[in-house]
């Protein structure tokens, strides 16, 4: 929203426009006298000329970057012709970013915002609290392009993050071979209203170049959402392409890739307790599974479950010292007896 005689008017209070703006609107009767209704009057403080002061965020923002070098950029802004007239608003909303403020006028303890933006819904909104940026064009040499550059960068930034009519989402970020991959697509029309009557296809290209086309099913619980699933049977990069037709002014398209690695199920969730697995182990081993609130039953069951268990130990006798000395004694006794009997 640009400043002007009717912009940021108190008539917008309580309307959807107020929610969109990155600055809060204030009823004129709640403003101090020096800030009331003077945007069109040159003798009023709010109608006088002023040089906007860039905030720290404004000096770093690419929207207000006239030159790459910081010092050169600050000098260019100091040399810009002054603007005339500012629409008065309240503070910037939580989460909003103020790029420029009025150098002298203060309301609610902070300088009046001149340029501010915020994220709203799926896009961005911006407020420029003056209608006189044309002075940057008219009062500068004709070869100076600062005015054009400002508006070109501002509009490109506002629209650069606009989402595509088709978006792809995966349930997880990592997959192993054999996993079921659940794919969700979200389809919008030109004004980003969800489309439930579109025909949506998922084209899957596996790591070996094999192609499979899957028609995605509409989610009856969420307008504009479509889903499909398949099994990642091969390791490597899988390419997903979603195309939609019908219900849109023009066909939509989006793509996404993911990597399926060799199965590592045993490493997943190693730090978390797998109750189902523990119960299964206890059941197959003839034992019981105990939760902390039933720990007292563990002692009781141990006392009632005393049984005699036969345990077999295998021990190599050649590695026992007494056996070694016994064999040595027997061989020595045999030798002594043979000598006494005159046997060789």
Range of lowest pLDDT (22-31, 150-159, 162-171, 177-186): 162-171
Q: 150 and 229: one domain?
A: no
Q: In the listed set 265, 290, 310, which residue is the last one of a domain according to the structure?
A: 265
Q: In the listed set 223, 242, 265, which residue is the last one of a domain according to the structure?
A: 265
Q: 72 and 112: one domain?
A: yes
How many residues can be counted in the chain?
344
With tokens 């203060």, the residue in question is 106
Residues of the chain above pLDDT 70, percent: 92
Phi-psi region of 121 (alpha: psi -120 to 50; beta: other; left: phi over 0): left
* Token pair for 146: 């600062």
| Residue 182 pLDDT greater than 80, yes or no | yes
pLDDT at 240: 94
Three-class SS string for 125-183? Answer: EEEECCCCCCHHHHCCCCCCCHHHHHHHHHHHHHHHCCCCCEEEEECCCCEECCCEEEE
CATH of the domain at 235: 2.60.40.1930
CA separation (Å) from 57 to 97, 200, 241? Answer: 7, 42, 38
* Token pair for 218: 């509409």
pLDDT at 165: 83
Q: What is the pLDDT of residues 280-326, one digit of tens each?
A: 888 888 888 888 888 888 888 877 776 667 788 777 776 778 887 88
Confidence category of residue 177, pLDDT binned at 50, 70, 90: confident
pLDDT at 242: 93
With tokens 């000329």, the residue in question is 49
Average pLDDT over residues 56-81: 92
14 within domain boundaries: yes
309 within domain boundaries: no
pLDDT at 121: 78
CA–CA distance, 42 with 88 (Å, rounded to integer) = 15
Average pLDDT over residues 3-11: 78
Q: 177 and 151: one domain?
A: no
254 within domain boundaries: yes
Q: 156 and 191: one domain?
A: no
Q: 47 and 188: one domain?
A: no
Average pLDDT over residues 5-31: 86
CATH of the domain at 104: 3.40.50.880
Confidence category of residue 223, pLDDT binned at 50, 70, 90: confident
pLDDT at 145: 92
| Residue 249 pLDDT greater than 60, yes or no | no
Reduced to 3 states (helix: H, G, I; strand: E, B; else coil), residue 211 is strand
| Residue 42 pLDDT greater than 70, yes or no | no
Confidence category of residue 210, pLDDT binned at 50, 70, 90: very high
121 within domain boundaries: yes
Q: Count how many domains the chain has.
A: 2
Q: 154 and 224: one domain?
A: no
**Listed ranges 167-176, 211-220, 324-333; the one with the highest mean pLDDT:** 211-220
Rg of the chain, C-alpha, whole Å: 39
Q: 118 and 135: one domain?
A: yes
8 A C-beta contact, residue 128 and residue 1: yes
pLDDT at 30: 87
Q: 156 and 26: one domain?
A: yes
Q: 30 and 142: one domain?
A: yes
Full domain range(s) for residue 86: 10-160
How do strand 175-176 and strand 252-261 relate by DSSP bridges? parallel
Confidence category of residue 54, pLDDT binned at 50, 70, 90: very high
8 A C-beta contact, residue 73 and residue 67: yes
107 within domain boundaries: yes
Q: What is the pLDDT of residues 98-109, one digit of tens each?
A: 999 999 999 989
pLDDT at 113: 95
Mean pLDDT of the chain: 86
CA–CA distance, 95 with 119 (Å, rounded to integer) = 8
Q: In the listed set 160, 184, 208, which residue is the last one of a domain according to the structure?
A: 160
- pTM, 2 dp: 0.56
Which DSSP string do the residues of 73-115 spell out, in sequence order?
HHHHHHTSPPEE------PBPTT-EEEEEEEEEEETTEEEEEE
| Residue 164 pLDDT greater than 90, yes or no | no
Q: What is the DSSP letter of 292?
A: G
| Residue 72 pLDDT greater than 90, yes or no | yes
pLDDT at 39: 62
pLDDT at 190: 77
203 within domain boundaries: yes
322 within domain boundaries: no
Q: 217 and 236: one domain?
A: yes
In sequence order, the 6+-apart residues with CB closer than 8 A to the CB of 140 are 80, 81, 146, 147
Return the closest-CA partner of residue 107 out of 241, 200, 181, 8. 8
64 within domain boundaries: yes
CA–CA distance, 55 with 52 (Å, rounded to integer) = 9
Average pLDDT over residues 36-48: 72
* Token pair for 219: 């989610």
Q: 143 and 215: one domain?
A: no
Q: 156 and 170: one domain?
A: no
In sequence order, the 6+-apart residues with CB closer than 8 A to the CB of 175 are 181, 232, 258, 259, 260, 261
């Amino acid at each position: 929203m640009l400043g002007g005689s009717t912009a940021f008017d108190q008539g917008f209070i309580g309307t959807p426009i107020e929610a969109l703006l990155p600055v809060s609107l204030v009823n004129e009767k709640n403003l101090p006298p020096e800030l009331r209704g003077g945007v069109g009057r040159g003798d009023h403080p709010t109608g006088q000329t002023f040089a906007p002061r860039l905030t720290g965020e404004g000096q770093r923002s690419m929207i207000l970057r006239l030159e790459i070098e910081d010092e050169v950029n600050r000098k260019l802004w100091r040399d810009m012709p002054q603007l005339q007239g500012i629409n008065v608003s309240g503070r910037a909303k939580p989460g909003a970013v103020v790029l420029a403020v009025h150098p002298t006028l203060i309301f609610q303890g902070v300088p009046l915002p001149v340029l501010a933006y915020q994220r709203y819904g799926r896009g961005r909104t911006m407020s420029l609290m003056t209608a006189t940026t044309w002075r940057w064009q008219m009062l500068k040499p004709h070869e100076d392009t600062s005015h054009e550059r400002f508006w070109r960068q501002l509009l490109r930034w506002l629209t650069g993050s606009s989402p595509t009519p088709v978006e792809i989402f995966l349930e997880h970020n990592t997959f192993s071979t054999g996993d079921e991959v659940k794919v969700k697509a979200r389809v919008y029309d030109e004004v980003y209203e969800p489309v439930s009557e579109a025909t949506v296809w998922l084209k899957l290209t596996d790591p070996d170049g094999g192609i499979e086309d899957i028609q995605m099913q509409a989610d009856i619980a969420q307008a504009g959402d479509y889903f499909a699933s398949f099994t990642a049977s091969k390791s490597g990069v899988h390419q997903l392409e979603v195309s939609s037709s019908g219900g849109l002014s023009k066909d939509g398209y989006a793509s996404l890739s993911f990597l399926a690695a060799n199965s590592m199920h045993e490493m997943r969730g190693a730090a978390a307790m797998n109750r189902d697995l523990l119960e299964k182990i206890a059941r197959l081993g003839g034992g019981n599974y105990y939760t902390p609130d039933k720990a007292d039953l563990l002692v009781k069951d141990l006392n009632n479950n005393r049984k005699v268990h036969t345990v077999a130990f295998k021990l190599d006798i050649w590695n026992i010292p007494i056996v070694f000395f016994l064999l040595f004694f027997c061989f020595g006794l045999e030798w002594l007896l043979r000598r006494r009997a005159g046997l060789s």
